[in-house]
Amino acid sequence: MAVVPHVKTWWKSAVIYQIYPASFCDSNGDGVGDIAGITSKLDYIASLGVDAIWISPVYDSPQVDMGYDISNYEAIYPPYGTVHSMKDLIKETHARGMRIMMDLVINHTSDQHAWFKDARSSRSSPKRDWYIWRPAKYSSNGDRLPPNNWRCSFGGGSAWEWDESTQEYYLHLWAKEQPDLNWDNEDARKAIYASAMAFWLDLGVDGFRVDTVNMYSKPNDFPDAPVADPAAPFQPAAMLYCNGPRMHEFIGEMNSILAQYGAITVGELLDTADVADILPYVSAEARQLDMIFQFDAVEVGWGRTHKYETTPKNFTLPQFKEAIGKAQNLIMGTDAWTTVFLENHDLSRSVSRLADDRPEFREAGAKMLALLQACLSGTQYIYQGQEIGAINASKEAYPLENYLDISSRLFMEMIKERYGASNKKELDRGFNALQHLARDHSRIPMAWNGTAKYGGFSEEAEQAGVDVKQPWMKPHPLAHEINVATQINDANSVLGWWRKMLQFRKQHEGVLVYGDYYCLGMDDPDTYSFIKQTQDGKGKMLVVLNFAPKEKPWSVPGSEMPMVDVGSSHTPKLTLTTYEGRGGSENLAPFEGRVYTMAVDSRQSNL
């Protein structure tokens, strides 16, 4: 494979910290996180070694989908603050040498947005074509039917909603309160660029995470999706509405505006399995997106017809390795770039999902996963709470009524419709899936101080004498154990380990950020080993991870392992282990991670 040198930029070697505003920090005691709360924690975020923050949506919204249903791109949801609050956050973030990214949600708006209200007011509205409308179909019996069999991404219902006043259906790939914009309409696109992008770029925002970046162009004939779920009337249709015919035209048009500001972009590229379809989005030559999120690794074990139609830990380690390798290999021999992440606002906690969250293993698992992330090539993304080893809430301590996310609620409604509201077996199966995979777990309020009320979520307001309200979501049952205050001054904590790994990553960026990736022992069901090598081949590290809750046999590899050089100067030398004080030749402890230096990194004298 030809070597295509990676052009080094700040955002490629960056650590980007994602913040979910409602759940991060409540500054005024009303139980809802806010922009002022984020600003108050900037010093903490900077102390982790973070280069940029990404703020999930703060725009004005009815909050049907927690801000991903936007009613005004140029206003802030009042409980979060004001545009002035955002200006202050932008200024204070920059003052600490960090950049700030916002969430760009432009596949759809809220049904309360002025554009949609205008569009549904009349078929002759000038903005009617800003959204996607189609007439009804009718069965042989005369029953009204949606235009096709596409399933909404939430629950099991149709992706079309009937509008009684104008007697047509509108498309909503997500909730019925989130109508899809019609990107084929040039006037709509111009309005999107001005209101959702330029307004914030002019205020100093440095870039965007672009939501559902490959869904804007739909096939004009809206064909039926193949039947994957025979028991259901509506079918998964992502293969039809992702990567549509005009997608690259639209993204290129967006980029021409973003480039004027030097803004960076990371696209949420859903349901795109083929590398040939991924590369056009992130090829530097194509000038479309700077990087994308690939979801293969974080979606291992998901159900085929529905995310939650599965059982916990329904995957193998080789499947996980293969998925990681897909993202890593994207940048080998290409001018593309990738990202590294195991958590975000749409995922449950990685320790619970990928390691083991039992008390005796959760800290070891958190450190091992931190080591894995830090050693993979690409831009590093960390989600709030990940740095303290946050885990899913248990079924026993966090009942189903605490789950507030629309996807969780609609999934359980689908279970009731299919199997009956009193079918305990199916309801329990559904709850098991939610306890393992639901988005709610990442949205539970951040635990700052286990001795303060509600885990310290509103700690500053409490200290100021405010009678603080219970958070909008029930606090984590383990907030008294897993929180920032108990870890912040402990170098051996999960938080201390994350700081160490992020520093280590930057010290050895030639290998760890830009290096090539080679997986070893792909079929091993418990141990994950890979080589990272500088593009010039002069620097090399071996990473070894034990994903089992028990000790695993291990010895320093020799010539029998491909890619491992042996000799007086190249014998693997233990550089890091997640278990303090262990030697490099001992068997691997449960969920232990190690890094061995194997050759001299030409950029780093201490390798």
Active-site residues, by number, are 211, 268
Interacting residues of 450 by C-beta distance below 8 A, sequence separation 6+: 456, 479, 480, 481, 482, 483, 485, 486
Phi, psi dihedrals of residue 363, rounded to the nearest 5°:
-70, -40
Strand partners, 161: 170
- Nearest by Cα to 205 from 289, 102, 292: 102
Phi, psi dihedrals of residue 15, rounded to the nearest 5°:
-110, 120
What's 513's DSSP letter? T
* DSSP state letters, 3-50: --PPPP-TTTS-EEEEE-HHHH--SSSSSS--HHHHHHTHHHHHHTT-
CA distance 438 to 394: 12
* DSSP state letters, 281-321: HH-TTTTS-SEEE--TTTTTT--SSSTTSS-TT-S-HHHHH
CA distance 123 to 457: 47
Distance between the two ends of the chain, CA-based, in angstroms?
26
Burial class (CB in 10 A: 0-12, 13-18, 19+), 383: buried
CA distance 443 to 446: 8
CA distance 105 to 73: 9
Per the structure block, which two tokens stand in for 131?
Answer: 């959204």
Per the structure block, which two tokens stand in for 586?
Answer: 């001992």
CA distance 225 to 204: 42
CA distance 319 to 317: 5
Interacting residues of 161 by C-beta distance below 8 A, sequence separation 6+: 169, 170, 172, 176, 179
* DSSP state letters, 413-478: HHHHHHH-TT-HHHHHHHHHHHHHH-THHHHSPP---TTSGGGGTTHHHHHTT--PPPPSSPPPTT
Per the structure block, which two tokens stand in for 561?
Answer: 């392992």
Encode 216-268 in three state secondary structure: CCCCCCCCCCCCCCCCCCCECCHHHHCCCCCHHHHHHHHHHHHHHHCCEEEEE
Length of the chain: 607
CA distance 94 to 104: 20
Interacting residues of 464 by C-beta distance below 8 A, sequence separation 6+: none
